[in-house]
Amino acid sequence: MQHCILLGAPVQEGASQRGCAMGPEALRTAKLAEALMELGHTVEDRGDVSPRVVPVVPHDNKAIHNLDEVSAWIDALAGQAHNAANSGTPIFLGGDHSMAAGTVSGVARAAAEAGKPLFVLWLDAHPDFHSLSSTGSGNLHGTPVAYFTGQSGFDGFFPTVTHPVDPANIFMMGLRSVDPAENAAMAKTDITLHDMRAMDEFGIVAPLREFLARVKAADGWLHVSLDVDFIDPSIAPGVGTTVPGGATFREAHLILEMAQESGLVGSMDLVELNPFLDERGRTAKLLVDLTASLFGRRIIDRKTKSF
144-201 tens-digit pLDDT: 999 999 999 999 999 999 999 999 999 999 999 999 999 999 999 999 999 999 999 9
Report the relative pairing of strands 265-271 and 89-94 from DSSP bridges: parallel
Write the pLDDT tens digit of every residue in 77-92: 999 999 999 999 999 9
Catalytic entry in 13, 96, 130, 141: 141
Share of the chain above pLDDT 70, in %: 97
Give the whole-angstrom CA distance, residue 227 versus residue 209.
Answer: 21
* 124 carries an active-site annotation: yes
pLDDT confidence band for 302 (50 / 70 / 90) = very low
SS3 173: strand
pLDDT confidence band for 265 (50 / 70 / 90) = very high
Torsion (CA) 187, 96, 175, 140 in degrees, nearest 10: -30
Catalytic entry in 69, 96, 182, 227: 227
pLDDT confidence band for 54 (50 / 70 / 90) = confident
> pLDDT value at position 306?
46
Indicate yes or no: pTM above 0.85: yes
CB 109 within 8 A of CB 162: yes
* 190 carries an active-site annotation: no
* 126 carries an active-site annotation: yes
* 60 carries an active-site annotation: no
Q: Return phi, psi of residue 271, to 5°.
A: -130, 160
Signed CA dihedral, 188, 194, 197, 202: sign only: positive
Catalytic entry in 126, 130, 163, 253: 126
Does the pLDDT of residue 307 top 50, yes or no? Answer: no
Write the pLDDT tens digit of every residue in 188-200: 999 999 999 999 9
Total Cβ atoms within 10 A of residue 61: 15
pLDDT confidence band for 256 (50 / 70 / 90) = very high
Catalytic entry in 13, 96, 124, 182: 124
Share of the chain above pLDDT 90, in %: 94
- The alpha-carbon radius of gyration of the chain (Å, integer) is 17
Average pLDDT, rounded, for the chain: 95
Does the pLDDT of residue 122 top 70, yes or no? Answer: yes
Catalytic entry in 82, 97, 130, 163: 97
pLDDT confidence band for 301 (50 / 70 / 90) = low
Write the pLDDT tens digit of every residue in 11-50: 999 999 999 999 999 999 999 999 999 999 999 999 999 9
Give the whole-angstrom CA distance, residue 27 versus residue 77.
Answer: 18
Residues 5-16: what's their mean pLDDT?
A: 97
Does the pLDDT of residue 280 top 90, yes or no? Answer: yes
> pLDDT value at position 247?
97
Side chain identity at residue 223, one-letter code:
H
* 223 carries an active-site annotation: no
> pLDDT value at position 300?
62
